[in-house]
Amino acid sequence: MIWYPYEQMKTMKSPYKIVNAEGVYLYTEDQKLIDSVSSWWSVIHGYKHPELNQAIETQLEKFAHVMLGGLTHESAQKLSNKLQRWLPGDLDYCFFSDSGSVAVKVALKIALQYYMNREKTQRTMVLALEHAYHGDTFKIMAVGDDEDYHFVLKAYGESKNVVHIPTEIDALEQTFEEYHDRLNCFIVEPLLQGAGGMRMYDISFLKRARELCDQYDVLLVFDEVATGFGRTGNRFVADLVLPDILVLGKALTGGYIGHAVTVANRKVYEGFYDDNPSHALMHGPTFMGNALACSVALKSIEIFESQDYMAKIHRIEEITRREMEGFSDPRIKEIRMMGACICIEVYDSNTIKGYQQFAYERGVFSRPFLNYLYAMVPYVIKEDELLKVLNTMKEWFLQYSDTTN
């Protein structure tokens, strides 16, 4: 029996069974659905992309996987070299892993050990944002600020080594002033907090964070697992403000295979590079640098570049703003838009209860959560398909005045 994610198994409704997928569409036995959430924001090229399929098939003829412990292979080397050339600044050193959560864990582990290697043993604290989500592994839950993790607080209490702040410059400055000599890093989802409620904030906050991290010798970590590869309307937010450590996942492989990478700058890398074996990074996921994942990631980046995906993303934002700006309903608290993301936040979660089935019947797959109805569409979506997604969202509020539906 499958134990499904984020569900109370006793009361969950049956999931939709997918029998095929192609382009932006998911197919059940009785319905054709536009995937408005890109399979948790990862399938940026759509499904069954011929070039991505071919990249995997070509690699598969050689081998599917070898470990990176004592071995290496061309696909991992090529992907690492491509990221070194493609990413901003001196974000040159790639540590691969098999999921975004693990890659964030690696980033936090690197940040802590960086200071331990330098005998700065008081640097045990992490600064993070309120409403943060950085994954579901155990230690990462302490850095996150998700209400679904409250059982951890009940069991262990709040972590003494994590401080959460709002996205306000005054709070940022006050916290650095109080804790700077104990912080090893400040980790953020830059500009767009995904699973924490699609919360969006201004670049000025990140610019000030970079200044304070430089001033107080604190590492700045960008978790761009969700925001990377154009989702905010920027290729990477790291192009605007340069972090010390960057984490990528989800769209890295175009949604084909779980894979992620933690990328460090030269300063961080050199904090591990010496003759002392205890200063090595002792971490090694079995499937890090998986050959199939690296091959499809390389092709995914090539398509992103050659087909001008940033233009596609800007067009998605343009259409979304044109269609949604000015739309209102007394049950809606706020409509937020950024890049290829739109979120409708409602006051009462009951307002969007039943929306998933409503959308299904109209040919759209959606997955609202808590008080948030959102879309993060594949970048290859056509205008008429995007309009169908947006009109379905609007139709729910226009047609259903009864919030119990």
As separate numbers, helices (DSSP H) first and strands (DSSP E) second, the chain gives 13, 16
Given 6, 62, 202, 267, which residue is catalytic?
A: 6
Residue-wise pLDDT for 340-381, tens only, equals 999 999 999 999 999 999 999 999 999 999 999 999 999 999
Check residues 405 and 188 and name the one with the higher pLDDT.
188
Residue-wise pLDDT for 374-402, tens only, equals 999 999 999 999 999 999 999 999 986 54
Residue 301 has pLDDT above 70, yes or no: yes
Q: Per-residue confidence at 149, pLDDT binned at 50, 70, 90? A: low
In the chain the domains, ranked by start, together with CATH numbers, are: 20-49+309-399 (3.90.1150.10), 63-306 (3.40.640.10)
Q: Region 232-239: what's the mean pLDDT?
A: 98
DSSP symbols for 144-199: ---GGGHHHHHHH-S-TTEEEE-S-HHHHHHHHHHHTTTEEEEEE--SEETTTT-E
Given 25, 93, 250, 374, which residue is catalytic?
A: 250
Q: What pLDDT shows up at residue 314?
A: 98
Q: What pLDDT shows up at residue 162?
A: 93
Catalytic residue check, 78 = no
Lowest mean pLDDT among 60-69, 153-162, 315-324: 153-162
Element (H, E) at 373: strand 372-375
Q: What is the CA radius of gyration of the chain?
A: 21
Residue-wise pLDDT for 275-297, tens only, equals 999 999 999 999 999 999 999 99
Q: What pLDDT shows up at residue 401?
A: 55
Q: What pLDDT shows up at residue 400?
A: 66
pTM for the whole structure: 0.95
Q: Region 106-119: what's the mean pLDDT?
A: 98
Q: How far apart are CA 41 and CA 50, in angstroms?
A: 20
Amino acid at 67: M
Q: Mean pLDDT in the chain?
A: 95
Percentage of the chain exceeding pLDDT 90: 90
Residue-wise pLDDT for 32-84, tens only, equals 999 999 999 999 999 999 999 999 999 999 999 999 999 999 999 999 999 99
- In 3D, which of 352, 334, 367 has the Cα closest to residue 404? 352
Q: Are strands 125-129 and 162-165 parallel, antiparallel or unpaired?
A: parallel
Q: What pLDDT shows up at residue 404?
A: 42
Catalytic residue check, 223 = yes
Catalytic residue check, 136 = no
Q: What pLDDT shows up at residue 403?
A: 44
Catalytic residue check, 402 = no
Q: Region 136-148: what's the mean pLDDT?
A: 71
Residue 219 has pLDDT above 70, yes or no: yes
Check residues 69 and 137 and name the one with the higher pLDDT.
69
Given 25, 47, 93, 133, which residue is catalytic?
A: 133
Given 25, 223, 256, 355, which residue is catalytic?
A: 223
Q: How far apart are CA 389 and CA 364, in angstroms?
A: 6
Cβ-based burial of 311 (10 A; exposed 0-12, middle 13-18, buried ≥19) = exposed
Q: What pLDDT shows up at residue 24?
A: 98
Element (H, E) at 105: helix 100-117
Q: What pLDDT shows up at residue 154?
A: 74
Residue-wise pLDDT for 125-136, tens only, equals 999 999 988 887
